[in-house]
Amino acid sequence: MSQENSTGNNPNIIKCRDDPKPIYFKNITDNKFALSEGSACSWLKNGEFGPEDLRPRIEPWLSALFQSEHLALLAGSGLMHAIHKIATDSILMNMSAASFTVFNEEIANVAHETAMRIGRDRANFEDYIRVANELLTGLEYYCPQSASFYGSNKLKAKIRLLKEEIKRSLNQFAASILIAEKNLAMAPNQKQGEAFGYLVNFLMSFASRSGTRDRLHIFTTNYDRLIEIGAELAGVHLLDRFVGNISPIFRSSRLNIDMHYNPPGIRGEPRYLEGVAHFTKLHGSIDWLNFGQEIRRFGLPFGTESIEPYLRAPGLTGLTPRNLMIYPNSTKDRETAAYPYVELFRDFAAAVCRPNSTLVTFGYSFGDDHINRIIEDMLTIPSTHLVIISFDDSLGRIMRTYDRVARHAQISLLVGNHLGDIQALVDHYLPKSAIDRTTYKMAELLRARFVTQQTDPYNNDDREKSDGE
């Protein structure tokens, strides 16, 4: 059992650089901490300490990792919760489990069973919708509209009702996603500016890559458009698999599209354009539609109240929230092999499972087995590194994953209500994107001048020192 679960006080957990094991510490005041009972640390004081003591340990380590040859960021629901809390001073409520008037007990039992199988204590909305959709598909095969066996009319009525209730549940789910966006869009200007400021600085800490390094890859399990709006505000251009402007279409072809520029006076040597990142939404998006044989992204304003008016556009006739690509299978590999999820997860595996790569997870609770498997495969490559940043580990999945993987030298932990708080991260621990390159150049210049001063035979100070000796 992890110390977090045994103590019951939800301590902060840090492990970075050459720490042999996780170090636990607890909050005394807002910015004062003390080691938890049973924890020892060679680089922290035994008494109270604060962010000024933690920063020299964390910030240089993250700066080095962020300049790995390959860098990827996996953002979970914790990112939206963090930004929503700053903007509104309120906690974003999770969507409750779906309920049905037909087959409710059967759906609930299977959803709960599959959730327990992968270590979750209870089924979530996605589990219920997945099971309901699978049941509906099976019933439609068993009892098509042309069926005429005994009791078929009664079963057909139940099938129609189940289909309507799935549609209603998905409408409610889509509305819950839009509520979070609306709360951000309608937040007071000062709070909204503060929240988006932290979001922009958070993203830019990762996106500020040297031109000789591979592009940042951003992955998210969220359905909302928080990262997209943050990238717009930051001036970051996101490259995804969608092609087009009016009604972008998802393309399976890997074109490795990028953006370059030619420096003035130099021909034939294009360079990376700054502010560009690859972007993948592993679980789909609130503005993706299954349109015939295609996946398209349709125009849905950020913060709108309802999705249905935008499904009445010409060309979208007959589409309902059931056509939204927002409910992948999170427990079995069967559905992640279906289009377009196979392409999305292939992108994730290809981006992280290669030498000299670093994956940073933020707000991801390690509740998706198919994602965890890829991360564990990545760690079989000795030169890879995983950085886990999370506000808490209430279900213990992070520490269970850490213990099970047993590649502790390749894992860094920043877990807790201080280390995993986006404001503390941006203020104290993440590399400052705007000044890092200048800082490095300044350090090199000062080092060169210092060495020159010490070795210059014409330096007056050196000559006087020599004469005096």
Tens of pLDDT, residue by residue over 33-45, are: 988 888 888 887 6
* Minimum mean pLDDT range among 89-98, 187-196, 279-288: 89-98
Indicate if the pLDDT at residue 337 is higher than 50.
no
428 has a pLDDT exceeding 90: yes
Kindly state the DSSP code that residue 94 receives in the 8-state scheme.
P
Which residues neighbour 41 within 8 Å (Cβ) at sequence distance 6 or greater? Answer: 19, 23, 35
What average pLDDT does range 256-262 have in this prediction? Answer: 78
Cβ distance 301 to 287 under 8 Å?
Answer: no
Q: Cα–Cα distances in Å, from 389 out to 120, 228, 246, 301? A: 20, 21, 37, 30
Which one-letter DSSP state was computed for residue 257? -
Weakest mean pLDDT among 49-58, 170-179, 184-193, 225-234: 170-179
What residue spans define the domains of the chain? 3-86+188-434, 104-182, 443-468
Q: Taking the CA of residue 19 as centre, how many other CA atoms within 13 Å lie in the half-sphere pointing to its CB?
A: 23
CB 281, CB 295: distance < 8 Å: no
| Bond into 340 cis (ω within 30) | yes
Does the pLDDT value for residue 71 go beyond 90?
A: yes
How high is the pLDDT of residue 6? Answer: 36
Q: Which of 253, 101, 232, 243 is nearest to 168 (CA)?
A: 101
Alpha-helical segments (H) within 390-435: 397-405, 422-424
pLDDT in tens, 433-449: 755 556 656 666 766 76
3-state secondary structure 339-379: CCHHHHHHHHHHHHCCCCEEEEEECCCCCCHHHHHHHHHHC
Instruction: Return the structure tokens found at 120.
Output: 């979750």
- What is the structure's pLDDT at 441? 66
Position 468 pLDDT exceeds 80: no
* Rg of the chain (C-alpha set): 26
Q: Give the separation between CA 383 and CA 379, rounded to whole angstroms.
A: 8
pTM of the model: 0.84
* Cα–Cα dist 384/409, whole Å: 10
Residue 439: the pLDDT is 62
Q: Which of 176, 177, 157, 170 is nearest to 98 (CA)?
A: 170
The vertex-264 CA angle with 260 and 267, nearest 5°, equals 70
| CA gap 187, 89 in Å, rounded | 10
Q: Which residues contact 145 (CB under 8 A, 6 or more apart)?
A: 156
pLDDT at 119 (0 to 100): 67
Pairing of strands 237-239, 288-291: unpaired
| Tens digits of residue pLDDT in 401-411 | 999 988 999 99
Sheet with 357-362, side-by-side order of all strands: 32-35, 23-29, 12-15, 411-415, 385-390, 357-362, 70-75, 216-220, 276-281, 237-239
CB 50, CB 33: distance < 8 Å: yes
pLDDT at 195 over 90: yes
Backbone φ and ψ of 334, nearest 5°: -60, -45
> Considering the chain, what is the average pLDDT of its residues?
84
Q: Helix, strand or coil for residue 146? A: coil
| Cβ–Cβ under 8 Å, residues 36 and 7 | yes
Output the pLDDT for position 157: 93
329: Cβ contacts below 8 Å, ≥ 6 apart: 130, 335, 336
Neighbours of 389 (CB within 10 A): 25
Q: What is the pLDDT of residue 467?
A: 45
